Chains A and B, each alone.
Chain A
Amino acid sequence: MSAVSNGTTPAATPKPNPAGAVANWADERLGIATATKKQLRKVFPDHWSFMLGEIALWSFVILLLTGVFLSLWFKPSMGEVVYNGSYDQLRGIHMSEAYESTLHISFDVRAGLLMRQMHHWAAMLFIAAMLVHMMRVFLTGAFRKPRELNWIIGGVLLLLGILEGFAGYSLPDDLLSGTGLRIADGLVKATPVLGSYMSFFMFGGEFPGDVIIPRLYTAHILLIPGLLLALIAAHMLLLVYHKHTQWPGPGRTEQNVVGYPMMPVYAAKAGGFFFIVFGVVALMGGLMTINPVWRYGPYNPAEVTAGSQPDWYMGIAEGLLRIMPGWETHIFGVTLSWNVFLPGQIAPIALLMLVLAYPFIEQWITGDKREHHLLQRPRNAPTRTAFLAAMITLYGLLWAAGGNDILATVFHLDLNTITYFMRGAIFVIPPLVFILAKRWCISLQRHDNEMLLHGYESGIIMRDAQGGYTEKHLPLSEDRAYTLTARARDEVYAGMSGEDANGVSAPKARMDQLRAKASKAWFATNVQKPTAEEFEEAHHHAELEHAHDAPLEGHAADGHQFDGRHDVAGDDLTHKH
């Protein structure tokens, strides 16, 4: 196989197909040949980070499968019954049908407990995978034009996933899920003006009422999954239409996409990955207890357990709620609970808005209206990378704050100190992380340029005639050097020049100045790739150095080819001269 023919294989090779008869039959009725002729050999590039979204997709499929199994026995009713099943520690206790049927699934349906635990683990993975997938897309700039709408769909999917998870967490009607609903009731009641009405409408009267579980059940198995399914389909369709992004490299440009065809390689890899995700979830469900509802007992509004926590994805809201000082305004006979309303309603909505609007904010700052199909290395967008690093830090701190009691118990810390610390830390540490991450990215960019211009550090120490020591630098391979330079130069937006600004209204001019400032903050400290002239100069310098080192060349220690960057098949360490 020569280098020329690689990559030029026709995208749809006509081949005699054993399944031809079936395909003909189907095509005569559905006309699928036109629709599938390109898709069957559609190209998907390979990179480990492209698999993260797939974890989410496959977790969702597992959720549908295990969820259907559970729905065969689960009774979404708050009707009161007396437990008479197999778990004797609760026998004779009054409980809701929802809790009773959950116990029934756990103890009297074979594989029922397994399916319940798989369902719960898959839900945790679903949301976690969406989040890491989103971080990947963010860090590599894959949300840029033309993919902004898919980013928004993704953000809405994450929100729906979290709501779906919370509804599911509440269904078993055990002590923990009831406590969660009670807190949700508190959050709803804190809504200005409408709070108590919303609470009464939600619960069909006073908390806990007798309708919330059937209502959440409808949302959990019909409304939200339907929306999720539709949005996932849209997400996938857009992915197919835009074609997948790819990392830059030799032969990989903005105009093409290089990778393996859907049939057969990608189908095998994606299909195989489905079974791996499914298998891992089954192992987790089989070996690791999750939400042992029988130990929590039925919901009782007079009981609570230490370590009452939401599932992990609500952790940041929980953390905010815990570290918020007790602020409340009482004026004109009404009460406004900032301590609940701010962290419980304003903060999550603001965060969601920021996430959804991000591509447009960045586009406005950078003024970049081009299409982008090549990914950026995180270091080449230092401000964006640093912003995410700060956000991850904030997320982590709030997450830890949401588990402050568990941290205190497990690590023998002082609960109050953790809370006081977090109140300050969420304002102090993320900015520090921002600065650190940005400087770090810029250093890495410098390092890249260093390698491009002066070669990589070979680890070979040269001793000159004066007795001084220097490390020999060797040039990068052509492919590697090209890959490092395959990125756009950043252009700082300078604002409208004097004559352009004439006739522009004052607010518009102010916005323009703001934009110029933002663009400067965004880009100005970035390190740009070397220019052709710089390369030329560096090359010249290298030749001089080479001439300088020439007398030593005959005495170079053998072995530098084993530095991991050279093909050494068939080489050995003996001197050949």
Chain B
Amino acid sequence: MSTDNHDEGHELVPAEPLADPGLPEHLPRPTDVDEGAAKRAERQVATLFGLSSVFALLFCVSYFVFDIGDDPDTVGGLGASNVFLGSCLGLALLCIGIGAIQWSRKLMSDHEIVEFRHPAASPQEDRDEALAALDAGITDSGIGRRPLVRNSLLGAMAVLGLPAIVALRDLGPLPGKKLEHTVWKKGMKVVQDVDGTPIKPDMMEIGQLVNAEPAVFFPQDGEPELSGHKILAEKAKAAVILVRMHPDDIKPTELRKNWGVDGILCFSKICTHVGCPISLWEQQTHHLLCPCHQSTFDLADNGRVIFGPAARHLPQLPLELDADGYLVAQSDFTEPVGPSYWERDRTDLK
């Protein structure tokens, strides 16, 4: 089929092959020519509007009839209040909507009308007038003749941006070294999350996982309690998991040889990708999966990344036993936990 209808430099627009036959004839609807049909449509629409009020009233009844709270009414295992309120409201609204549209389709005049378009641009004379007015304004202001006024004003406006930025300074403190440290320190007990049970090695079996926290979140009598926000901010960095593997399965680096106790290792629970807490541990493969973006770490191999978008290994907390035989930290984490950031130094596994 021919596509190229015009030669280079020689614009020849072919004539339109078919002429516009004009708007088609308007055909009446049954409701236009049959009074009976029109009456039926009218009754139909009125019934829909009437039904709407019934459902609106039923909504009010449901509001008072169905209990919520402690001992909610149910219908087929669903919350009765929500189901009835939603259904009644929905049907009340739908009846109005369907009724209005049925009205417009069957009973309102359906003659299409034509409006003519105008170009989006203003007429040339309006444009000229506007430009003239603009010119007059600029001339009157003298902004063209007095560059000193113009430039100093522009300068002042630009400098005014500074207060706008400076005023936002107190949105938050500066990071400082906060991202590099957690509450872990030498001798802090590793305790089970939720109830604060301190853990001895013989409490854990091979293949066991314990979601753990530093003991500071579970103060003993007399110890000062951290406030709610402080706990959340510290938990967001200090949460750990304890896992026990067979010691022979673990391949620690030279530095990490004495970071575990009888095959029990402690890793940060905060993913190095974007910070989700990870505790999805496969006890046979020793792989730890992040449920947010599926980064997978091998805990038998120093928390190395084996799959997914994370770029760095999972930080490990060095463990030892205290005098009573409980698992405690040897120190804080030796590197920042959680997601990467610009100033973060050191990436290689040691």
Contact = CB atoms under 8 A, between A and B. Distances in A.
Q: Do A and B bind each other?
A: yes
B6 interface: yes
Interface in A291-339: 299-308, 318, 321-328, 330, 333-337, 339
Interface string A187-198: 101111111110
Nearest to B109: A265
Interface stretch (A387-395, A427-435, A460-468, A474-482): A474-482
A114 B70 contact: no
B113 A260 contact: yes
Given A286-B85, A340-B340, A405 B172 contact: no
Interface in B174-210: 174-175, 178-179, 193
A191 B342 contact: yes
B343 interface: yes
Contact of B172 (A203, A334, A449): A203
Interface of B: 1-6, 8-9, 13-26, 28, 63, 68-70, 78-79, 81-87, 89-101, 103-104, 108-117, 119-121, 168, 171-175, 178-179, 193, 211, 213, 227-229, 232-233, 235-237, 239, 269, 273-280, 291-295, 305, 307-312, 338-347
**Interface size band for A:** 35 or more
A287 B344 CA distance: 49
B310 to A, nearest CB: 5
Contacts of B213: 302
The interface residues of chain A, by DSSP majority, are classed as mixed
13 contacts: A108-B68, A110-B81, A190-B274, A191-B342, A257-B116, A272-B101, A278-B93, A281-B90, A286-B86, A287-B86, A301-B232, A305-B291, A340-B340
A243 to B, nearest CB: 6
A339 B24 CA distance: 60
B309 A322 contact: yes
A278 B23 CA distance: 36
Contact of A41 (B25, B81, B113, B275): B113
Contact of B277 (A206, A241, A301): A301
Given A258-B113, A302-B239, A304-B279, A201 B341 contact: no
B44 to A, nearest CB: 14
B274 A183 contact: yes
Interface in A262-305: 264-265, 268-269, 271-287, 299-305
A269 B104 contact: yes
A209 interface: yes
A308 B345 contact: no
Contact of B2 (A282, A300, A534): A534
Contact of B97 (A118, A179, A278, A344): A278
A529 interface: yes
A191 B343 CA distance: 11
Contacts of A9: 111, 113
A352 interface: no
B28 A110 contact: no
Interface string A234-253: 00000001110000001111
B97 A276 contact: yes
A260 B277 contact: no
A190 B273 CA distance: 10
B228 to A, nearest CB: 4
A377 interface: no
Interface stretch (A224-232, A489-497, A543-551): A489-497
Contact of A273 (B97, B112, B120, B211): B97
A50 interface: no
A286 B83 contact: yes
Given A287-B83, A489-B14, A199 B175 contact: yes
A416 interface: yes
Given A197-B175, A321-B293, A489-B5, A186 B273 contact: yes
A82 to B, nearest CB: 11
A227 to B, nearest CB: 18
